Structures are given as C-alpha cells and as structure tokens.
C-alpha cells in the first residue's frame, strides 16, 4: 500500500468507524455465528500475490463483522466494559505512527516522560496517597502495563524477592547457608486472596511456583475481605510453618463489586509493616478504581499509604481503549531490583548515570507501546469534570435499576446492591434451589433472545444475574427497557420448572 492509497483508505476507515460507533446499538449485541464459522470463509493458505485494499475491506464487512460481539453497545450489560472514546482512538493512530519498542528513555524520550507525567496526573485525579507519585516522599511512581495479570506477576515477583532478601538478610549473601535458606523459604511462600479475588492472582502464584491460600468472605459482610479473617488466616499459615508474603485486596470484585476492608487489612498487618516479614499488599482496582475520580469515593484510598502497589485499568471504565493498566508502587526500587537486567547492548550514558527512568525495568517484556498517549488525550479532552460526569452516569443508572427492581419485590430480590455501576439480582422462589433454577432460567432466556447481553455468577452456591450499566452509551431508556425485559421474562419463566446447572458458571465466570 502506497501513501496515497493509505490516505484514501484511512479517511474512509475513520468515517466507517465513526458510523459504527454512533450506530452500534443497531447491531445484535452478541454474535450468533457458530464455532469455526470463519475457516470455511477464508483461504486455507496466505495469498502469494498482493491483494487490493478493496478486497480486504470487503471481507471486514462480510466475514469479520458478523463474528464481533459489540462491547460498546448500550445493551451490553455483561462483563465490566471495555471503554472507548474518540480521543483514545486518535491516540492509537498516532501511537502506531510513532511505532517503536520504547524500552528505555533514549529510545523515545517523550514516551518515557509523558508516561511519568500522565501517571502522576492520574494518581492525583484518583486521590491516591503522595507516596505513589514519582516525586513523592518514598520515591514511588507509576507505570503502564497491558493488563492486571501483567501487573500482578510483576508485583508478586518483586514481593517475593523483597521478602526473601529481608528474611535472609542476616545470612552472608552468596554463602551456601544463604542459598539453602533461600530455597527453603521459597518452598514455604504463600500468596493470599479472598474467595472473591480475581483468578489472576491464583494464576500468577501458579506461574511463580508459590502456594495460594483463599481467605473466606461472607454475605453478611457484603463479600468484603475483613481484617479479622485475614489475621486468622495469616496466623494459621504461620503456625503450619508457611510464609504468607503477598495479598491481593480488591476495590470492586468481579462477581459482585465488593470492596475489601482496607482499614481493617492495614490494621491486621500493622505489627509486621516494614519489618522483614512485611506482607506485600496489592490493591486490585481494575474496574472500581475509576470511581475514585469521584470525591465521594476517595475516602476508600486513605489506607493505601499502608500498602505496596495498586493497579487500575482505564481501559475498563475510563474511556481509554484496551490495553491500558495503570500500576503504582510505593518504592520503585522494589520493582527495579527484581526485574532489572543490564546487557551491554541496552546501556547508554543517561541510564548509566541514573538520570532517567527506564520502564523496561518495571515490567516483564523489554519492548513497550506508547500507551500514555491515549490517557493524555482522554484526560485533556474530557477533563476531570467530564470523566466524573461519565463515571457518575454509570453509578446513577445502576441505582435507577435497583429502584426499579426493588419496586417489584413480588418477583425479584437484590442479591448485592448497586455499586460502581453493577447490581446483582435473583428471582424469588420458595426454596434456595427454586430461586437458583428460576434465576438461571431468566438469565438464559434473556441472553437467548439477543436484545441484551448479561453474565451470571455463583457466590456461596447462590446463582445471581449481574447487570452492569457503565458502558459509555447506556442511558435511562436502556435501563428501563432492561427492567421491562426482566419483568416480562421472569413472569414468563416463573411458572415453568427448571433445574439450575450452576456448576458450569462458577469457574467460567471466575476466570473471565
């Protein structure tokens, strides 16, 4: 493709993308193609000769679009959203134009420096403690990763190395005794999370070869991890000779958007805070972190100064396209000491003199994308006030749906109230089994109809339907229609007999 052909194609693509975005509600939310639909439509081998753009373009409409689930649809109320906006889309175009690996400062100074600045902006917008700013008292700072899972493996690896070094600091480094102590300690390390913690923490523990222990949470506590439960689990593990070293606490769990008891967690771990057996606390605020832009929620971050790292994904609710996960650490040296490797071909004067930040030392990959550009575009285009308006709209719409659901207590019960744009509901019944059966039947029927797309979860053997109202284009009219569909479907299904097959949802949802 030559430059002139690109100009024509790109301008047409922008028009088509804009039309798609503005009219996304016209599409069926979930693709209804069958598994394997695409292979018969495409050649079995790549083309030998170049194909014209017109042929490629035609296949997007006829072959690719039918297999797309429309995450931007106002009737997509299933998973947490993947946000998008025009400023973020423009930034992606520029990022592609400025294509490079950007692994250290000299590779593209603007890429590194903008990331530092934007991460400080974002930390301030969310009301995070100053220890997470690049110029803060603890020499912390932020970095952009591709996902929460990536941020977890980086922080858990840093936590592991920090814990091992601290506990064995009294043994001469490099000695046989030190080596034996390190391997013995490694075999007893345990990462912690609640039963509501996202499965990525358990997966990362598996990758790093450490154990994982689950801390129970209760419905009475709103499925929030409490300090007392944490303390009891830590005490039990240590009594068995194990070494708990890492905890994921959550601001907005995936299943019900529960918020863990951060003050209680900080208090429970206070006796070992900044001691050799300090347990690293990572805050997973992947979705719920966006709500911190609202002043009424910023009190939730007050205890974060007692913790070690935070991750938040602007690509979920913050109008920033995938992938973009913001990560802050209280001491940047923890990451650098765990992840820095300096082969001669990566050295340069600025890095050697420690005058610059090299973000390759804050992540697993060497190369990195220019992700900060889209955050910069979004924050400047909307301003804090515009972002607050967007987040508050999602919050208000879920509360509106909660009021509607509550008005029909003859049919529905609220499993967990609206929080951060998510509500979970159940269909009433005479027994727990009947409630599960009816709720699953309504859920399956709504998704089969195709007008809306929802997800379900199972918590403590209770089947519930999740409704998330934070997709950008959701309005009150869509919430009203969702409620009407709930009523119609529930009244239709409530007289039928169904048996709940909730087991199939437990692991499927937990790993989503």
Query: How much is the pLDDT for 498?
Result: 53
For residue 1, the model assigns a pLDDT of 87
Q: In what order do the strands lie in the sheet with 462-468?
A: 412-419, 422-427, 462-468, 455-459
**Please, are residues 167 and 185 in contact by the beta-carbon 8 Å criterion?**
yes
Within 8 A by CB and 6+ apart from 91, the residues are: 373, 374, 376, 377, 378
Sequence-ordered strand ranges (E) for 276-354: 280-284, 309-312, 325-329
Q: Which CATH number fits domain 99-369: 3.40.50.300, 3.40.50.2300, 2.40.30.60, 3.40.640.10?
A: 3.40.640.10
Helices (H), 240-285: 262-269
pLDDT value for 367:
87
Mean pLDDT value of segment 348-354 = 77
CA–CA gap between residue 191 and residue 205 (Å, rounded) = 7
Task: Please report the pLDDT score of residue 274 as a whole number.
Answer: 86
- The mean pLDDT of 138-162, rounded to a whole number, is 96
CATH of domain 1-30+69-82+383-512: 3.90.1150.170
Mean pLDDT of 1-13: 93
- Across the chain, mean pLDDT equals 93
User: Quick check: do 1-30+69-82+383-512 and 99-369 share a fold?
Assistant: no
Does the structure show a pLDDT above 70 at 509? no
Residue 445 has pLDDT above 70, yes or no: yes
Work out the percent of the chain whose per-residue pLDDT is above 70. 97
Give the whole-angstrom CA distance, residue 395 versus residue 100.
38
Cβ pair 482, 73 in contact under 8 A: no
Q: What is the pLDDT of residues 296-307, one digit of tens each?
A: 999 999 999 999
Entry pTM: 0.92
Q: Which of 433, 457, 429 is nearest to 443 (CA)?
A: 457
**Cα angle: 57, vertex 58, 61; to 5 degrees:** 95
Closest CA to 394 of 470, 288, 458: 470
For the chain, give every domain's residue range: 1-30+69-82+383-512, 99-369
Residue 504 has pLDDT above 90, yes or no: no
pLDDT score at 355: 77
At residue 223, the pLDDT reads 96
pLDDT above 60 for 511: no
Q: What gap in Å lies between CA 506 and CA 404, rounded to an integer? A: 28
The pLDDT of residue 343 = 85
In the predicted model, what is the mean pLDDT of residues 402-430? 97
pLDDT at 346: 82
CA distances from 468 to 28, 210, 404 (A): 18, 34, 15
Q: Which of 323, 420, 389, 373 has the alpha carbon at shortest distance from 119?
A: 373
Residue 262: the pLDDT is 98
Q: Which element (helix H / strand E) includes 149?
A: helix 148-167
- Average pLDDT, stretch 499-511? 52
Label the pairing between strands 243-250 and 280-284: parallel
189-194/243-250 β-pairing = parallel
pLDDT at 499 exceeding the cut of 60: no
Does residue 506 surpass a pLDDT of 70? Answer: no
**pLDDT at res. 496:** 77
| Predicted pLDDT at 501 | 55
In this model, does residue 244 exceed pLDDT 80?
Answer: yes
**Which has the minimum average pLDDT: 54-58, 102-106, 485-489?**
102-106
Confidence of residue 366 (pLDDT cuts 50, 70, 90): confident
Burial class (CB within 10 angstroms; exposed 0-12, middle 13-18, buried 19+) of 284 = buried
Give the pLDDT confidence score for residue 351 in this predicted structure. 76
């Amino acid at each position: 493709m030559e430059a002139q052909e690109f100009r024509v194609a790109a301008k047409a693509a922008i028009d088509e993308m804009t039309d798609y975005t503005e009219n996304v509600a016209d599409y069926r939310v979930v693709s209804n193609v069958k598994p394997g639909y695409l292979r018969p439509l495409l050649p079995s081998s790549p083309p030998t000769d170049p194909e014209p753009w017109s042929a490629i373009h035609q296949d997007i409409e006829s072959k690719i679009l039918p297999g797309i689930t429309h995450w931007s649809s106002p009737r997509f109320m299933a998973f947490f959203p993947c946000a998008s906006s025009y400023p973020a889309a423009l930034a992606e175009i520029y990022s592609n134009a400025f294509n490079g690996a950007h692994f250290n400062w000299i590779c593209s100074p603007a890429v590194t420096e903008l990331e530092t600045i934007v991460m400080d902006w974002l930390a301030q917008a969310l009301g995070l403690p100053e220890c997470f700013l690049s110029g803060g008292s603890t020499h912390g700072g932020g970095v952009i990763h591709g996902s929460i899972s990536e941020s977890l493996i980086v922080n858990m690896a840093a936590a592991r190395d920090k814990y091992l070094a601290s506990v064995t600091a009294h043994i001469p480094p490099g000695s046989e005794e030190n080596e034996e102590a390190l391997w013995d300690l490694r075999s007893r390390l345990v990462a912690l999370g609640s039963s509501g913690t996202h499965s990525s923490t358990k997966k990362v523990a598996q990758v790093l070869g450490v154990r994982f222990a689950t801390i129970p949470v209760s419905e009475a506590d709103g499925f929030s991890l409490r300090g007392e439960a944490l303390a009891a689990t830590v005490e039990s593990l240590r009594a068995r000779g194990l070494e708990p070293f890492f905890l994921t606490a959550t601001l907005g769990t995936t299943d019900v958007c529960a918020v863990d008891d951060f003050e209680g967690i900080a208090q429970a771990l206070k006796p070992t805070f900044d001691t050799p057996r300090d347990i690293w606390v990572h805050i997973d605020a992947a979705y719920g972190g966006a709500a911190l832009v609202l002043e009424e929620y910023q009190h939730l971050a007050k205890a974060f100064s007692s913790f070690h790292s935070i991750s938040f994904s602007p690509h979920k609710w913050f109008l920033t396209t995938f992938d973009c996960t913001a990560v802050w650490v209280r001491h940047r040296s923890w990451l650098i000491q765990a992840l820095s490797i300096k082969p001669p071909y990566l050295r340069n004067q600025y890095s050697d003199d420690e005058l610059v930040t090299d973000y390759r030392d804050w992540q697993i990959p060497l190369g990195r994308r220019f992700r900060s550009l889209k955050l910069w575009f979004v924050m400047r285009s909307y301003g804090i006030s515009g972002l607050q308006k967007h987040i508050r709209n999602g919050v208000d719409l879920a509360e509106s749906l909660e009021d509607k659901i509550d008005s029909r207590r003859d049919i529905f019960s609220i499993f967990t109230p609206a929080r951060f744009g998510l509500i979970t509901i159940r269909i009433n019944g005479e027994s727990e089994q009947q409630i599960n059966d009816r709720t699953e039947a309504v859920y399956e029927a709504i998704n089969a109809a195709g007008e809306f797309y929802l997800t379900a979860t199972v918590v403590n053997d209770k089947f519930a339907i999740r409704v998330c109202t934070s997709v950008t284009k959701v309005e009150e009219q869509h919430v009203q229609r969702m409620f009407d569909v709930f009523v119609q479907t529930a009244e239709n299904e409530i007289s039928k007999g169904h048996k709940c097959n909730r087991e199939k949802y437990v692991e499927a949802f937990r790993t989503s």
